[in-house]
Chains A and B, each alone.
Chain A
Amino acid sequence: MISLHGRTVVPGYAEGEALVSPEPISGWGGIDPAQGRIIEPRHILNGYGFSGKVLVFPSAKGSSGWSALFQSTRLLGTAPAAMVITRISTKSALGAVVTRVPAVTDLDQDPCLLIRTGDWVRVDATHGLIEVKPASGRR
Chain B
Amino acid sequence: MILTDDEKRMRDGAEGAAVAAAMDLLIRYGDALACDRLCDVRNVAGTMTQPSPVKERLVAHGGWDKAFAVINLDCDDDIEVPAMRVPTCQLQHGFGADAKGIVPYPQRKIELQQQAEAFYGRRGVTILATCTPYQVGNIPVRGEHCAWMESSAVIYANSVLGARTNCEGTASAGAASLTGKIPCWGNHREENRHGTHLIDVRTPVDGFLDWGMLGYFAGGVAGEEHPVIAGDLARPDLAGLKHFGAAAATSGGVELYHIPGVTPEAPTLEAAFGGARTPEPAVYGPAERQAVYDTLNSQGSRPDVDFVLLGCPHASVDQVRRAAAALDGRRLSPGTELWLMLPRALRDVADRSGYTAIIERAGGRLLGDSCPAMSRAAPEGTRVFATDSAKQAHYLPAILGIEAWFGTLEDCVDAAVTGRWHGSLR
CA separation between A95 and B172, bound complex, in Å?
10
Interchain nearest-CB distance for A104 vs B (Å): 11
Determine whether B154 belongs to the interface, using a CB cutoff of 8 Å to chain A: yes
Does B29 lie within 8 Å of A93, measured CB to CB?
A: yes
- From 25 to 53 in chain B, residues with beta carbon under 8 angstroms from any chain A beta carbon are 25, 28-29, 31-34, 47, 52-53
CA separation between A115 and B222, bound complex, in Å?
27
Q: A10-B32, A97-B29 are in contact. Are A29 and B399 (CB under 8 A)?
A: yes
Among A41, A68, A90, max chain B CB count under 10 A is at A90
CA separation between A42 and B251, bound complex, in Å?
13
CA separation between A10 and B166, bound complex, in Å?
20
Determine whether B395 belongs to the interface, using a CB cutoff of 8 Å to chain A: yes
Does A88 lie within 8 Å of B32, measured CB to CB?
A: yes
Does A91 lie within 8 Å of B169, measured CB to CB?
A: yes
A to B contact number (C-beta, < 8 Å): 95
Prevailing SS type, chain A contact patch: mixed
CA separation between A89 and B172, bound complex, in Å?
13
**What residues on B are CB-neighbors of A95 within 8 Å?**
169
Does A97 lie within 8 Å of B399, measured CB to CB?
A: no
- Interface size range of chain B in the complex: 35 or more
Does B170 lie within 8 Å of A67, measured CB to CB?
A: yes
Interchain nearest-CB distance for A34 vs B (Å): 8
- From 19 to 45 in chain A, residues with beta carbon under 8 angstroms from any chain B beta carbon are 24, 29, 33-34, 40-42
Q: A29-B395, A98-B74 are in contact. Are A65 and B169 (CB under 8 A)?
A: yes
| Leading 10 A-B pairs by shortest Cβ distance | A67-B169, A93-B32, A64-B149, A68-B170, A94-B169, A90-B166, A9-B32, A98-B74, A93-B33, A64-B167
Residues of A bordering B, CB below 8 Å: 7-10, 24, 29, 33-34, 40-42, 59-68, 71-72, 75-76, 88-91, 93-98, 100, 103, 106
Q: Can you give 6 A-B contacts (C-beta < 8 A)?
A: A34-B53, A41-B398, A64-B168, A65-B149, A90-B185, A91-B167
